[in-house]
Structure 1
């Protein structure tokens, strides 16, 4: 299976993409409410967003800002109360649960903080699992190729328990890439890793965008992690309130401090 190459990925953002761009992620008027009446929680308040293919987007915000809900609605893991979501040009908002499951298995990749590898399977079997779940024949050659690209050449026969945390996350990245997905959703992918290992994992996600043409949407609380992205989107109280492009960790941290301080002062 041929690997796609990204074109000028570090300069392509939702803000400067040309009209009619082939969006990887498109949210229009997405609202998510939980509960009823006085107990209603507005997790998302009318999110409008377009992300181009072969881009790396980080999503940040204070605790309770709606980051997790944003990721779940964008990935079809939760349904918005209002609005529409398109992934790779496909409208998913009204899909049946069976169709959504099929789409997630074949066209989306996921990287989680807890790795979510199956301990009873080998590394290779974990990598090709999305292929099996999608009803396709596992491609051992592609699995070996991806394992080599993430620095785990020759470790396909190992079990996850024989690997370090950083190596397990590398397996998770290879698994996320194996089906050439439209989008990879990463939820705090470095939260359980030390600083050095986290940097190695983030460099792999960055390379997946630059060299393989992948699209990555990452929720994180870490400004250093967000600095690997092409752009950082900031959520506050369920609304998209700001965005930074090609920002440094210090710039991102300063913006986050402003958001957190404003939220505390408003609550007081």
Structure 2
């Protein structure tokens, strides 16, 4: 067995429910922990139960994909796990730090210094150079910009020669590479990726996913990615499936074909049981995007 496969086997063996984490691992060994996390919007007959008692612990240095039918709660899961939305019940720990009761100022500081984000829309500032975009998280966190760190992460994504260019001079795939470099520059506890390849063609998407995979394999990054694409999910160590706000299934190191088959079964089950998709309320952080 090759070194990469051994590492992946070790990482996937570490996935557990929080009860198992208590028994076998100190809290600090886990990159992400969700205990009994529920998220409800509204009350009474108009209530939307976006998440229903999620229990999950993800080890450091792992790549997890989250999938599910439309309205299953994928984006709400990411928002709660990343501290961008607060659960109605339960608790969330990131890198061993309890974030559920944090005030907004402390939570913002934690996100800036210990989390990385990659979105479908890249979210680069057009007036800044590639290097300046990469260094932005350090500036926002009140840390001294480290040009060597920027050069290192740009080299990791193959854009070290483009540091002085602006986003408008780059292709879509190159812009997403800059976004990945920006997410990695603070050496975060977790990188959260929301449909990172949704705006890219198939070949470019594969290159971007390979970069995320390489960050996990070579620098022990932890990646949690929401996606609807079975091919994208096949780059992960484990794929988690949500249905009606609950964890419905998982696969370890699956192929794209296995993922697509499982997704088809979940979608068919939702149709048979008449479970409706869950529209997001207007105030939800991801309103207008697929849940």
TM-score bucket (shorter structure): over 0.9
- For residues 145 and 82 of structure 1, the distance between their equivalents in structure 2, rounded to whole angstroms, comes to 40
SS in 2 for 1:110: strand
Q: Which residue of 2 aligns with 1:244?
A: 251
* Displacement of 1:145: 1.2
SS in 2 for 1:121: coil
Which of 7, 10, 14 is the aligned partner of 2:8? 10
**Superposition pairs for residues 138-153 of structure 1, below 5 Å?**
138-153=145-160
Query: What is the aligned residue count?
Result: 263
**Superposition pairs for residues 1-268 of structure 1, below 5 Å?**
8-11=6-9, 12-13=11-12, 14-15=15-16, 19-20=24-25, 22-267=29-274
- For residues 189 and 139 of structure 1, the distance between their equivalents in structure 2, rounded to whole angstroms, comes to 26
* Displacement of 1:173: 0.3
Unaligned residue ranges in structure 2 (runs of 5+): 276-291
- For residues 225 and 19 of structure 1, the distance between their equivalents in structure 2, rounded to whole angstroms, comes to 31
SS in 1 for 2:116: strand
* Displacement of 1:153: 1.6
SS in 2 for 1:154: helix
- For residues 62 and 138 of structure 2, the distance between their equivalents in structure 1, rounded to whole angstroms, comes to 24
User: Are 1:108 and 1:176, in contact at CA under 8 Å, matched by a contact in 2?
Assistant: yes
1:196-231 CA deviation, whole Å, 9 max, x = no partner? 000000000000000011000000000000000000
Question: TM-score with structure 1 length normalisation?
Answer: 0.96
SS in 2 for 1:77: coil
- For residues 254 and 7 of structure 1, the distance between their equivalents in structure 2, rounded to whole angstroms, comes to 24
User: Are 1:44 and 1:69, in contact at CA under 8 Å, matched by a contact in 2?
Assistant: yes
User: Are 1:10 and 1:230, in contact at CA under 8 Å, matched by a contact in 2?
Assistant: yes
Unaligned residue ranges in structure 1 (runs of 5+): 1-5
1:92-132 CA deviation, whole Å, 9 max, x = no partner? 00000000000000000000000000001000000000000
Question: TM-score with structure 2 length normalisation?
Answer: 0.88
User: Are 1:9 and 1:209, in contact at CA under 8 Å, matched by a contact in 2?
Assistant: no
* Displacement of 1:7: 10
